[in-house]
Amino acid sequence: MIHVRALDRLPSELRGACFAMGAFDGLHPGHRAVISLARSRSEALGAPLGVLTFEPSPRAFFQPGGPSMRLMSPERRARILSSLGADLCVSLPFDAATAAMTDADFVSRVLHDGLAARAVAVGFDFRFGKGRMGDVASLARLAADCGFEALIADPVGAPGGGEKVSSSSIRALIRAGEMEAAAGLLGDWWIVDGVVEHGEKRGRTLGFPTANLHLGDLIQPPFGVYAVWARPEGERAWRPAAASFGRTPTTGLRDPLLEVFIFDYSGDLYGRRLETAFAVRLRPELVFPSIEALTVQMAADVAEAATLLRRLDPPSET
């Protein structure tokens, strides 16, 4: 998959693609329905399949300094989009000029002139243009005026019925520590990734060496201990693990950090990307009266995580 970040860098052979357009944060089943709609049309037309998104997201642009909201890193999103058959991903900068475009300007200047789109698929509740003035009805009308198709995906309901699947509902569940419920809406476990950093190496002295990474602008789950799976860069298999996310109040407060203890693993992970899939929150972050008490609890956490993970299926992503 080719990834471009400006319209003037679009390869000529990829003009005229069929695009799925949206934020696609989390790539939940609703997002995949939009991509599937665009893919079906691209196959019928013999056109490339493209994905159009924005970086940073409109939310981040309008709420600078707000809480972290991203469900997945751009790197993971790009990799999964490629696995879904996308030939092209266009990550347009969302800036003041983009925010000021009317819906008509956006369709004419970006979708028609910039991309020469043959079809554009969006979700049923898609909004765009200055002040969110545009909706699926205006997109369909403006697309017809420019000579390309607008494809509208139906809402995708949560498993077992209920309200539609949305990134907002998934974020709310993650913030509440409801990882299994979040997985039910995502269609898989929630996975974060980042580059393993050097830490204080205190876990190694306690018998639980951990791979440490900051979540950056990813959404933060509640502080606490989790049963997780981990997959080091370059490996295909998911390994059972336990992880702590928080500020380590027992040994000294610091910025929130994810510390992952991979069972029966002895490789060097520094500088490598590590994926971590959250399965179950075991307990909140606690203050212990001593390092000895902390170590005893860590051993209990690892044993509980191992028992739980044996009963659950690892991530389906390969």
Give 38-81 pLDDT, tens digit per residue.
999 999 999 999 999 998 888 888 888 778 889 999 889 999 99
Which residue stretches of the chain have pLDDT < 50? none
State if pTM tops 0.85: yes
pLDDT at 44: 97
Which secondary-structure segment (H or E) carries 185? helix 179-186
Homologous superfamily (CATH) of 2-153 is: HUPs (3.40.50.620)
Q: Which residues contact 64 (CB under 8 A, 6 or more apart)?
A: none
**CATH no. of 189-310:** 2.40.30.30
pLDDT at 251: 67
**What DSSP string describes 247-260?**
--TTT---S-EEEE
pLDDT at 67: 83
- Between CA 302 and CA 304 the distance in angstroms is 5
Taking only the tens place, the pLDDT of each residue in 263-302 is 999 888 999 999 999 999 999 999 888 889 989 999 999 9
> Where are the chain's structural domains?
2-153, 189-310
Specify the amino acid at residue 254.
R
- Between CA 53 and CA 19 the distance in angstroms is 10
- Between CA 288 and CA 291 the distance in angstroms is 7
